[in-house]
Structures are given as C-alpha cells and as structure tokens.
Amino acid sequence: MKNFLFLLSALFSMAACYTPPANCADFKTGTFQYQTYVNGELIQAKIVRNDSLEIDYYDPQHPDTSQIRWINDCEYVLKKYKPKGTSEKRAFSMRIMETKGNTYKFLFSEIGQKETKEFNATRIKE
C-alpha cells in the first residue's frame, strides 16, 4: 500500500509540472500580429520573419529590422540591422514559450537585463 501511495503521489507531482511541448519550428518564419503599447496607446503590431531577418512594424513609419541568430527552435537573439548608435547595438532575447494552433506566447528581454515582457502573437500569413 505504501508503494502504491508513493507511486500515485509521484505521478501527480509529474503531472503538475508538465508543460505542453511547443512546436516552435512551425513559427520560425511567417507574418505575425501582436498587441503592444506605443506612447501609451494600444496598437496592433506586426512581425515579418524569415530564417535570418525580422522586421517589426510596431511603428508603421519606422519599421525595425533585426538580424536573427537562432539558438534552438524556440530561442533566438535579435540584433538591430545597421544600428545608428550605441543604444541600437543592444541585443534582445526572444523565447517561444508555448504554441497552440496558429498562436504562440513569447518572452522578450534585453540581454543582460532581468526584466522580461510577455506577448501573444498570432500567425496572419505563412
């Protein structure tokens, strides 16, 4: 009986820690949309990503082009393409945490900083 209770509690512990696998490779390329605040206003931003470049249209007049260095299927580093100053030379970590259907949840942070921001993105085009 003790073995049964031990096994049962071990199974519940493992089930509580289970996170569904992310199908990150499905989201490496495409066009995606997410919501963010720009100057205090909630906007629909757009990302266009291929295997080596990402263009972020959070400000339609000033698209932000970055180079991508993939670490694995779920993580990559962004560096501004042709930075125009020291502040634009910062690198950012992107981590896809979860996928479901045509959406994914990702964490965004500046490398070397602890603060992260979480976003949900939806594929709008292959």
The ranges assigned to domains in the chain are 20-125
Q: 113-124 burial, b if ≥16 CB within 10 A, otherwise e?
A: eeeeeebebebe
Q: Predicted confidence band at 10 (pLDDT cuts at 50, 70, 90)?
A: very low
User: 20-125 in CATH: which number?
Assistant: 2.40.128.490
Q: What is the pLDDT of residues 31-52, one digit of tens each?
A: 999 998 878 889 899 999 998 9
Residue 122 and residue 107: Cα distance in Å, rounded?
14
- pTM of the complete model: 0.77
Q: What percent of the chain has pLDDT over 90?
A: 57
What one-character DSSP code corresponds to residue 42? E
Between 97 and 22, the more confident residue is 97
